[in-house]
Amino acid sequence: MMFRNKNGEIRSGWKIAEMLGIVFGVLFLLIFVIQFGFTSVMITTGNLDQATGMATPFAYQIAALLNGSMMFIQSAVMIVVPILLWTRRLKKAKSALGLPPLSKHGRAMIQGLAIGAGSMTLTFLLLLVTDSAQVLTWVPQLSPSLLLMLILYILVGYSEEIICRGYIQGVMRQTRNPWLIILVPSLIFSLLHSANQGIGLIPYLNIFLIGLFLSLITLTSGNLYPAIGFHIFWNFFQGPIYGFSVSGGQENGLLTTYMKGNSLLNGGAFGPEGGLLVTAVILLMIGVWYWRTREQLPGLIAQLKAGDQSVVKEGAAGDFQRETDQELPAESKAASPAEKTEL
C-alpha cells in the first residue's frame, strides 16, 4: 500500500513529509502576514513611500525588530507543530517524543550542556594551536544582547532537536532498521541548513555528523535532553562566547576571533562547522560515544529491530533505565522482531 505498511501504520516518510509541510506552511503564512501587515501600516502612517520605496528611520527600526524576532517565531513554530502532531495526530505521549519531565532528567541536560561547551572549547583551542584563528579583542562583560542570544539558542536547541531527534527519529523507529533510524534524521538535519549562507560540501558533512552524534546519544539516553543541551551550548559557545560565525550566520561574541589561513581547516566565513578541524572533533566524539556504550549496543540494536518504543526514567540512584512507553491509543500494535523493515 502506498500510504500504509503491512502492519497498518502510516508510512514514516508520509508522517515526516506531513510534519515538515505543516511547519514550512505555517512559517510561510506567518512571514507573509507579518510582511503584508508591516508594509500596510508603514504606508498608512506615512513611514513608507509606496511609489519610491523610500522609508523613514522609524520604518527601518521596526523592520530590524521584526527581522530579529523571526528566529524566535520560527523556533516556536518548530516546537509547537511537531508536539501537537505527535500527541494529537499520532496519539502518543510526549515522553515517547523524548520529552519526559525535565525535573527528573536535569542531569542529562547538564551533561549535554557540558559536552557541547567542552567540544566547542576544544575546537576553539585547536584553531588557535594550528594558527587557523586569532583572538583580536576580549570583552568580558554581560550584556542584554548576550542573554537574548542565550534565550534564542535555547529555543533553537529545543526546536531542531524536537523535529529531528524527536519527531523524525521517533517515527523512523517503526522501520525497525537501526541504520535508517539514525541516518535519516541526520540527513534531514543537514538539509534543513541548506539556506544558510556559505553552505557547501564540508558544512553539509559536518552538520550531518553532528546530527549523527546527536541521534546516537538520544538513542542511548532515551530522551532528548542530552542532545538539546549539547545543541544549545555548542551554538552559544561558538557564536556569543568565542565570536565565530554559527553555521554561516555572523555573531558578535565576548571574543572577537578572526579566521586566518586555510579555510579547509577553519571553515572560513561559514564558521568552524565548515572546516575539517570540526570534522575531527565530531569523529572523536562519536568514537568516545562508541567506546563508552559498546557493551550496551547489542541490546539497543535488538530493541530497535524489535520495534521497541521506549523512554527512560531516572532511577533512585540517578542512573537511566529504559522502560516501555505507556502510549495513548496507538494507531497499531508493534510488529514482532521477525518482521521485515516497514517504512
In the structure, what pLDDT confidence band is assigned to residue 254 with cuts at 50, 70 and 90?
confident
Mean pLDDT (whole number) for 305-324: 45
pLDDT, residue 2, reads 76
Give the range with max mean pLDDT: 143-152, 223-232, 259-268, 317-326.
Answer: 223-232
Lowest mean pLDDT among 241-245, 305-309, 336-340: 336-340
Contact criterion met (CB below 8 Å) for 237 and 146 = no
Tell me: pLDDT of 322 over 50.
no
Block residue for cell numbers 565530531: 282
Half-sphere exposure at residue 218, Cβ-oriented, CA atoms within 13 angstroms: 37
Cell of 287: 568514537
φ/ψ bin of 268: left (φ > 0), alpha (ψ from -120 to 50), beta (otherwise): left
Q: In this predicted model, which residue has the larger pLDDT, 58 or 50?
A: 58
pLDDT, residue 333, reads 40
Query: Which sequence spans correspond to the domains of the chain?
Result: 9-91, 103-309
pLDDT, residue 316, reads 30
Q: In this predicted model, which residue has the larger pLDDT, 254 or 32?
A: 32
What percent of the chain clears pLDDT 90, i.e. is strictly above it? 63
Element (H, E) at 63: helix 57-84
Half-sphere exposure at residue 203, Cβ-oriented, CA atoms within 13 angstroms: 23
Contact criterion met (CB below 8 Å) for 231 and 218 = no
- What gap in Å lies between CA 341 and CA 343, rounded to an integer? 7
Mean pLDDT (whole number) for 2-7: 78
Residue 246 CB neighbour total at 10 angstroms = 23
pLDDT in tens, 175-189: 999 999 999 999 999
Block residue for cell numbers 523507529: 173
- What gap in Å lies between CA 207 and CA 247, rounded to an integer? 9
Question: 260-290: string of b/e by CB count within 10 Å (b at 16+)?
Answer: eeebebbbbebbbbbbbbbbebbeebbeebe
pLDDT in tens, 261-281: 889 999 998 999 999 999 999
pLDDT, residue 330, reads 41
In the structure, what pLDDT confidence band is assigned to residue 5 with cuts at 50, 70 and 90?
confident
Block residue for cell numbers 529504559: 322
- The mean predicted confidence, pLDDT, of the chain is 87
How many Å is the Cα radius of gyration of the chain?
22
pLDDT in tens, 74-85: 999 999 999 999
